[in-house]
Amino acid sequence: MIELLQKVRVIDPVSKIDELFDVLIADGYIQEVASHITDISPDTPIRDCRGLVIGPGLVDLYSHSGEPGFEERETLLSLLQSATAGGFTRISILPNTSPAIDNPALVAQLQQKRHGEMKQREKINSAPPAPPASPASPLPLLHIWGAITLDIAGKQMTELADLASAGVVGFSDGEPLENLALVRRVLEYVQPLGKPIAFWPSDRQLSANGVMREGADALRFGLPPIPASAETSAIAAMLELVATIGTPVHIMRVSTSRSVELIASAKAAGLPITASTTWMHLLLDTKAVKSYNTSLHLDPPLGNSSDVAALRAGVRAGVIDAIAIDHTPYSYEEKVQAFAEAPPGAIGLELALPLLWQYLVETEEFTALELWRALSTSPAECLGQKVSAIVPHQPAELTLFDPEQIWKVERKSLYTLSQNTPWLGQQIKGHVVQTWC
């Protein structure tokens, strides 16, 4: 299969390029990148890509799969298709399934399931008709986080070495681990395994029954508050352990301005840490909760305006390495409750790139390179992986994006089985055209 993309805007964080080029792709590889490609066979398909953007395939650090156990929320296939439609060529799922991904057998089962879905996709060579991603787009690579503790209960450590041998991408419970003695022991055990380990620092005693970031808006809306110190005190404790033991750590779901300061200081001191925030924490603040839309009930909660500003500055500066999607599907029935009673989380794989581009790049707060780096090369580096530059003879792991296409977020336009997003029913701008993987 060969194709020439003409006059496409190439955004390559590896080469630090943002320019118009022709790109020739053949048999899964980039054959040529040049201002004007003319040396092609007469039967080569040519696509006019003026106005389109191409960059390395997006990489999601962590999201949630409904399967196994909660297939009414999301199956593995719908998750992978949703990721493809959002421009992701790699996705990593957290272990909080039912049963939890805390043993090699379940890791193998999910890997085989993904392999089977890929074979079926190749056989029929088409996608479901309603969602908009190109039928030619392959399913993304699936990476699996192995649980740190059995049944992600925070009490007994899993067989980390066995999970590493089974091929997990790294270790994380995706839930707060408050037993610091256990955290210390885990950091010692995981060090020789050479796999990333990710923690979500959060003090549940300080959070108590809170559902919204502490501040004037929480008082105004009458919702139980969560102090910023619930996050920052836990991050400070984690940083002390990293300084003592030296095991590299990824800090998930950073959501406060003070957290950004702590991480910046730790990096300046040479601590081996990386960090991520989620895409919704970059776009919305506590004022959005005025609607009481349960898709805005997140954990950690949306920050105050000063938190959002600090997170954006942190991503641009590289203090916050990556933007995670943290796609968290729930059924309609689960989310139709009072705000404080609904489970926290929102979908995002198909929405993140369009909305981040619309509200950060088009407003010129971020450059296109800064956003694409935080969604592709930097998440890969946090996972200990690499993303190839868009140059000849490299594999074509790419995302083609139309920043001007307008579409409506509704059930028939989404691959995901769930609809828990505050943008449901709204028109947004920006759509993925195709991925190569």
Q: 222-253, pLDDT tens digit by residue?
A: 999 999 999 999 999 999 999 999 999 999 99
Residue 174 has pLDDT above 50, yes or no: yes
Question: For residue 110, what are the CA distances in angstroms to 75, 86, 127?
Answer: 11, 21, 21
Rounded Cα distance between 431 and 327, Å, is: 18
For 310, the token pair is 């600090």
Grade residue 116 by pLDDT with cuts at 50, 70 and 90.
Answer: confident
Do residues 36 and 58 touch, judged by C-beta distance below 8 A? no
CA distance 110 to 146: 12
Q: How confident is the model at residue 114 (pLDDT cuts 50, 70, 90)?
A: confident
Lowest mean pLDDT among 122-136, 242-256, 367-381: 122-136
Residue 85 has pLDDT above 90, yes or no: yes
Using 50, 70 and 90 to split pLDDT, how confident is the model at 111?
very high
What's the confidence (pLDDT) of residue 123? Answer: 58
**Residue range 379-404, pLDDT digits in tens:** 999 999 999 999 999 999 999 999 99
Is the dihedral angle over the CA atoms 215, 217, 220, 225 positive or is it negative? Answer: negative
pTM of the shown model: 0.95
Can you tell me the distance from the alpha carbon of 159 to that of 148, in angstroms, rounded to the nearest whole number? 8
Q: What residues contact 64, with CB distance under 8 A and at least 6 apart?
A: 74, 93, 94, 96, 174, 326, 327, 328, 329, 345
Please say whether the beta carbons of 78 and 117 come within 8 A: no
Neighbour tally for 125: CB within 10 Å: 8
Q: What is the distance between the alpha carbons of residues 335 and 297, in angstroms, rounded to a whole number? A: 10
Q: Can you give the pLDDT at residue 121?
A: 65
Question: Which candidate in 173, 299, 326, 402 is catalytic?
Answer: 326
pLDDT recorded at residue 131 = 52
Band (134; pLDDT cuts 50, 70, 90): very low
Alpha carbons 80 and 3: distance in angstroms, whole number: 25
Ordered structural domains, the chain, with CATH: 57-388 (3.20.20.140)
Instruction: Give burial (CB, 10 Å; 0-12/13-18/19+) of 6.
Output: middle
43 flagged as catalytic: no
Nearest to 146 by CA among 74, 194, 186, 96: 96
Distance CA(314)–CA(115), nearest Å, equals: 37
Cβ-proximal residues to 91 (8 Å cutoff; 6+ apart), any chain: 59, 60, 63, 79, 80, 83, 140, 141, 142, 143, 349
Query: Residue 29's CB: how many other CB atoms inside 10 A?
Result: 14
At 16, the pLDDT band (50, 70, 90 cuts) reads very high
pLDDT band of residue 117 (cuts 50, 70, 90) is: confident
**The pLDDT of residue 1:** 83
Residue 395 near residue 28 (C-beta atoms within 8 A): yes
DSSP 169-222: SEE--SS----HHHHHHHHHHHGGGT--BEE----HHHHTT--EESSHHHHHHT
